[in-house]
Amino acid sequence: AKRVGGSGWRAYDPASTLRRARSRLLEAELRTGLDQGQFFLLFQPQVSLTSGRLAGAEALLRWQHPTLGMISPAEFISISEANGFICDLGQFMFREACKAATSWPSHVSVAVNISPVQFLRGDLLSDIRAALAASGLAPHRLHVEITESIFVERSEELFSKLDALRDLGVTIALDDFGTGYSSLSYISSLPLDKLKIDQSFVREMVSDPATQSIVQAVMTLAHGLGLKVVGEGVENALQSEMLAAMGCEEGQGYLFGRPQSARQIQALSAAHSLL
Ligand code: C2E
Ligand code: CA
Ligand code: CA
Ligand code: CA
């Protein structure tokens, strides 16, 4: 057993020891991984539920390590947030995502996830400006996805950064909506363009009337505020049809496509309908 703080003892836990060791290993490999081109982006289709056409794609980071294999963002994003490396990854993401989108038709957008750490620590605005300039991508085609967790600190700096982002002309989406703590009314005070309904709601709404009412209420409020709505984690036609019937503009999920290469997205953009 190990002494913890001044009070009590914690049993030796081999699983958590292993987890910490793996964490340290990954942390030590991040920099080399980025320098040696082990990171890349995949893109998941976002489909218009009215026309069935491809509306955009979300960039999702992947790490193909030479000996550890494919490492999930669920694992390396939190490590990168803890040590600040997320800001370097962010710079890479913006550059690669904007470049990829220039090979797609002009009605197809690209969405990039921004971690709260990047928002508060990194040189976010200049990274985005540089990526837009280098690629020549029209700013409105770049969508940034933020989560409610960035509003934990409701600082002046946060709001001025959001406003600056807006001034750049990029589109701002609130990700994973419903999993955080913001009230519906709080959303109205934020400079947003889009709201993404978390996949847990999309999954549950088909069998649970209460969840369906929540999704409908969110949709009504969002539309009242002039926001577009995207349903996440759409895996079957019933979910897609329910969202469409509620007036949801876009859907994203395995029904329409897994995360895939920029070239594959380009091919999808030629399809008449993905519904
Ligand atoms: P997220 O932003 O909510 O991204 C959606 C996640 O749901 C992706 O997992 C995607 O593959 C998965 N997904 C999409 N459709 C479906 C579906 O129909 N069913 C199910 N069960 N899952 C679906 P992924 O790629 O493993 O990413 C996980 C999380 O890692 C992301 O959640 C995001 O928070 C973070 N992440 C990924 N790439 C980046 C990045 O470039 N930057 C930052 N800051 N975070 C990233
Ligand atoms: Ca996202
Ligand atoms: Ca999400
Ligand atoms: Ca998520």
**Crossing angle of helices 14-35 and 73-83, rounded to 10°:** 80
pLDDT, position 4: 53
pLDDT above 60: residue 127? yes
Pocket test for ligand 1, best of 60, 91, 121 (most atoms within 8 A of CB): 60
pLDDT band for position 1 (50/70/90)?
Answer: very low
Q: Which numbered atom of ligand 1 lies nearest the CA of 60? A: 38
pLDDT in tens, 46-100: 999 999 999 999 999 999 999 999 999 999 999 999 999 999 999 999 999 999 9
Percent of the chain with pLDDT over 90: 78
pLDDT, position 62: 98
pLDDT above 70: residue 120? yes
Q: How far apart are CA 261 and CA 258, in angstroms?
A: 10
pLDDT, position 71: 96
Hey, what amino acid is at 215? Answer: V
Is 179 exposed, middle or buried, given 0-12, 13-18 or 19+ CB atoms closer than 10 A?
Answer: middle
Whole-number Å distance, alpha carbon 46 to ligand 1 midpoint, is 13
70: left (phi over 0), alpha (psi -120 to 50) or beta: beta
pLDDT above 80: residue 122? no
Q: Which numbered atom of ligand 1 lies nearest the CA of 232? A: 15
pLDDT, position 119: 84
At 163, phi and psi to the nearest 5?
A: -65, -40
Q: Is 40 in the pocket of ligand 1 (CB under 6 A)?
A: no
C-alpha count within 13 angstroms, C-beta hemisphere, residue 94: 28
Q: Whose CA is nearest to atom 37 of ligand 1?
A: 60
Q: Whose CA is nearest to atom 33 of ligand 1?
A: 113
Average pLDDT over the chain, rounded to whole? 92
The total number of residues shown for the chain amounts to 275
Residue 153 per-residue DSSP state: S
Pocket test for ligand 1, best of 80, 96, 113, 175 (most atoms within 8 A of CB): 113
Is 138 exposed, middle or buried, given 0-12, 13-18 or 19+ CB atoms closer than 10 A?
Answer: middle
How far from chain centre, in Å, is Cα 244? 22
Residue 260 per-residue DSSP state: B
Whole-number Å distance, alpha carbon 105 to ligand 2 midpoint, is 22
C-alpha count within 13 angstroms, C-beta hemisphere, residue 215: 30
Is 209 exposed, middle or buried, given 0-12, 13-18 or 19+ CB atoms closer than 10 A?
Answer: exposed
Q: Is 93 in the pocket of ligand 1 (CB under 6 A)?
A: yes
Q: Is 42 in the pocket of ligand 1 (CB under 6 A)?
A: no
Paired with 44 in beta bridges are 58
Q: Which numbered atom of ligand 1 lies nearest the CA of 62? A: 38
* Token representation of residue 112: 């990039």
8: left (phi over 0), alpha (psi -120 to 50) or beta: left
Q: Whose CA is nearest to atom 17 of ligand 1?
A: 233
Looking at all shown ligands, the one closest to residue 254's CA atom is: 1
Q: How far apart are CA 256 and CA 57, in angstroms?
A: 11
Q: Is 88 in the pocket of ligand 1 (CB under 6 A)?
A: no
Q: Which numbered atom of ligand 1 lies nearest the CA of 252? A: 15
Q: Which numbered atom of ligand 1 lies nearest the CA of 72? A: 26
Least confident of 6-20, 87-101, 169-183: 6-20
Q: Is 176 in the pocket of ligand 1 (CB under 6 A)?
A: yes
Hey, what amino acid is at 231? Answer: G
